[in-house]
Amino acid sequence: MRNFTGNFTQQTALPEASITAVNAVLATGRLHRYNLAEGEVGEVAQLEIDYRDWQGSAYCLAVTSGGQALQIAMRACGISTDDVVLTNAFTLAPVPGAIAAVGAQPLLVETDENLRIDLDDLKQKAIQSRARYLLLSHMRGHLCDMDRLMHICDEHGITVIEDCAHTMGAMWNGKRSGNFGHVACFSTQTYKHMNSGEGGLLTTNDPQLMVRATILSGSYMLYDRHGAGPDVADFYDARLDMPNLSARMDAVRAAMLRPQLAVLNANIDAWNARYAACAGALAKVDGLHLPERPKAEQMVGSSIQFRAPSLDAKECRALLAMAGARGVELKWFGAHEPVGFTSTHGSWRYMPNQSLPRTDAIMASLFDMRLPLSFAVHECQFIGELIGDAFRGAKS
């Protein structure tokens, strides 16, 4: 019985060009984004220009993390302590964490069996709560019907903030995720689609929002050297209205990201090949449910999820253990205590407890796994086969 021996947290090396660019920045000693020589467009501003052009948005702001991008985006939208913010019940901790950080009231929306936000529940809660904001998390890369979502939100006067931590590069009907809402947030933390250790990007078409976000990110009134922002005159009011949250990206991280953007499309293809190989093996296992991937969705398969609804909690734990024994590190969303990133809404005690029976039922048998590019395509198929073995073992 062969086991899988790969490492689930091993990234691929950064491109040579990243290493060269980082060394060049280090040699200057000018690491702070506003510490620029005369006439110099620093690495951070250049990253903002590159990402803005790649994304197809009018503006991009680079910050310290995806979570900070979310907080800045919410504040820049005017969200404060009295506001209710609708958001996915199925998401990762930085999302409710960002809502808590701005002091707003999260209202969690149910999850459908394809792991997307439940649009019927969204509509109902929008009407009942009269919330004016939705922080939409494209959790694990599953895009909901974005046309219907935007229709619901437009109808109810809801401003949409997109959390694209898992959908950098994904599209719905040919339109990039992040270009539907008023503002979008991306993460360049190690486990996302570009890797600078920590980092975040915020995009929007609204110059006034970008002005507020820039001041919030901590521009020290040096926005005239920002390089890629709105006109300096646009800053006149916001510069005194917005607090400095000190969340700037530095030149080292920007330098390592720019060459990664150049290979992002190739990496997306590589992830999708791995996803297809693993999903192909899982689809052959009776009793395992893969989320459906609609035609309109151009996905980025950097992770894979499946449900095993016929298993009870004890059997789910057995599946986890058996897969683990064969070298396959799965995450399970049904545990009572958060393990790694798999926290569920019940363990967010800083917010009022909310009843989400559909989400709970789905998460009870939901498994999740990253597909690092350090795995070969055939290894991803093998992993799928090993999961099938573990499922059959857990059942009997």
Ligand X SMILES: *Cc1c(COP(=O)(O)O)cnc(C)c1O
Q: Among residues 160 and 211, whose Cβ is nearest to ligand X?
A: 160
- Minimum CB distance to ligand X smaller for 140 or for 156: 140
Q: How far is CA 263 from CA 10, 184, 258, 383, in A?
A: 19, 21, 9, 26
- Shortest-Cβ-distance residue relative to ligand X: 66
Question: C-beta of 72: minimal distance to ligand X in Å?
Answer: 12
> 88 or 179, CB closer to ligand X?
88
Paired strand residues for 267: none
First to last CA, the chain: 19
| Cβ proximity to ligand X, 65 vs 214, nearer residue | 65
In the complex, minimum distance from the CB of residue 107 to ligand X, in angstroms, rounded to a whole number: 17
Residue matched to tokens 């809801």: 158
- Minimum CB separation of residue 341 from ligand X in Å reads 7
Alpha carbons 51 and 63: distance in angstroms, whole number: 13
Do 241 and 224 form a contact (C-beta atoms < 8 A)? no
**Shortest distance (Å) from residue 309 CB to ligand X:** 24
Residue tagged 């250790």 (tokens):
197
**Footprint of ligand X (CB under 6 A):** 65-67, 91-92, 94-95, 137, 139, 163, 165-166, 187, 189, 200
Q: How far apart are CA 364 and CA 346, in angstroms?
A: 12
Cβ proximity to ligand X, 200 vs 229, nearer residue? 200
Longest dimension (CA), the chain: 71
Of 163 and 250, nearer to ligand X (C-beta) is 163
Cα distance between residue 386 and residue 46, in whole Å? 44
Shortest reach from residue 79's CB to ligand X, in Å: 16
Q: Measured from the CB of residue 186, what is the shortest distance to ligand X in angstroms? A: 8
Helices and strands per DSSP (H, E), number in the chain = 13, 13
